């Protein structure tokens, strides 16, 4: 991925990248739908954190708990950073947006690797992505080259697809990686169809706003897996009951 990031041609940010389809203001809030549609990221992050607390330590190892927590913190950071960017879209704000996304990527990819390979590999993957994501975001800002960021995203999806072919490890969270990929791919499609979706819905919802909601749903398989773990885990210290 590093070799590809430097070997592929430089890709500049399109001149009209920040001109999103939905420019409406609501109650003084500029680009209101693109800002408010980030709320599902925060909701999924909070919900996932709650399920993680309920699951306890009997079903989920310490490393997977830590990586899950990183993922949910990343989701809430994405909500804040993306809202900041869409309030007044500009290049520096886009970099901040990607910093929040980078935390979520690191947590998710690390969790998937720990789920299917090993805890040590999961931690290593999370550290690499946590360092690479801000680096590629800064390259896009300072060198006007989006290629490294695109390689990071595409490489992450390829890694997830490869991991989906492996069975979860014993005591792993076992979340549905294919479902994560499907939600994220749909979100990217909506992002590319920003204006057509806005016209198709007769100005009710743009593709970019819908992208935020759908991308947040990519966290659902992880939250669902934690919910299953919480449902079968007795509270710590609870006495067994007789039936």
Question: Phi and psi of 29, rounded to 5°?
Answer: -90, 115
- CA distance linking residue 134 with residue 138, whole number of Å: 6
Residuewise pLDDT in 10s, the chain (243 residues):
888 888 899 999 988 999 999 999 999 999 999 999 999 999 999 999 999 988 866 567 889 999 999 999 999 999 999 999 999 999 999 999 999 999 999 999 999 999 999 999 999 999 999 999 999 999 999 999 999 999 999 999 999 999 999 999 988 888 999 999 999 999 999 999 999 999 999 999 999 999 999 999 999 999 999 988 877 654 444 443 433
For each of the domains in the chain, give its residue range(s) and CATH number, in order of start: 29-231 (1.20.1070)
pLDDT at residue 239, rounded to an integer: 40
- Asked if 122 and 110 count as a contact pair (C-beta separation under 8 A), the reply is yes
Beta-carbon count within 10 A of 175 CB: 22
- Asked if 154 and 185 count as a contact pair (C-beta separation under 8 A), the reply is no
**Tally of residues, the chain:** 243
SS (H, E, C) 81-135: HHHHHHHCCCHHHHHHHHHHHHHHHHHHHHHHHHHHCCHHHHHHHHHHHHHHHHH
Distances (CA, A) of 66 to 49, 53, 58, 62, 126: 11, 11, 14, 6, 11
- Kindly state the DSSP code that residue 163 receives in the 8-state scheme: H
pLDDT at residue 242, rounded to an integer: 35
pLDDT at residue 191, rounded to an integer: 96
pLDDT at residue 81, rounded to an integer: 97
pLDDT at residue 229, rounded to an integer: 80
The residues, any chain, with a CB within 8 Å of residue 25's CB and separated by 6 or more, are 31, 32
Read off the pTM.
Answer: 0.91
pLDDT at residue 58, rounded to an integer: 59
């Amino acid at each position: 991925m590093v070799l590809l990031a430097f070997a592929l041609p430089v890709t500049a940010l399109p001149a009209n990248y920040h001109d999103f389809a939905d420019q409406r203001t609501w109650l003084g809030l500029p680009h209101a739908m693109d800002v408010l549609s980030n709320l599902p990221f925060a909701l999924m992050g909070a919900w996932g954190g709650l399920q993680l607390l309920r699951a306890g330590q009997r079903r989920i190892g310490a490393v997977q708990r830590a990586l899950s927590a990183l993922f949910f913190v990343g989701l809430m950071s994405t909500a804040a950073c993306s809202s900041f960017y869409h309030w007044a879209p500009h290049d520096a704000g886009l970099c901040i947006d990607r910093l929040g996304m980078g935390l979520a990527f690191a947590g998710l990819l690390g969790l998937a690797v720990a789920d299917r390979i090993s805890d040590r590999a999961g931690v290593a993957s999370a550290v690499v992505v946590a360092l690479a994501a801000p680096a590629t975001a800064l390259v896009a800002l300072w060198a006007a080259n989006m290629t490294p960021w695109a390689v990071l995203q595409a490489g992450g999806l390829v890694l997830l697809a490869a991991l989906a072919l492996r069975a979860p490890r014993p005591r792993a969270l076992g979340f549905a990686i294919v479902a994560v990929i499907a939600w994220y791919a749909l979100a990217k499609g909506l992002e590319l169809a920003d204006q057509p979706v806005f016209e198709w819905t007769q100005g009710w919802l743009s593709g970019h706003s819908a992208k935020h909601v759908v991308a947040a749903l990519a966290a659902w398989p992880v939250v669902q897996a934690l919910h299953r773990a919480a449902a079968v885990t007795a509270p710590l210290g609870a006495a067994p009951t007789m039936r």
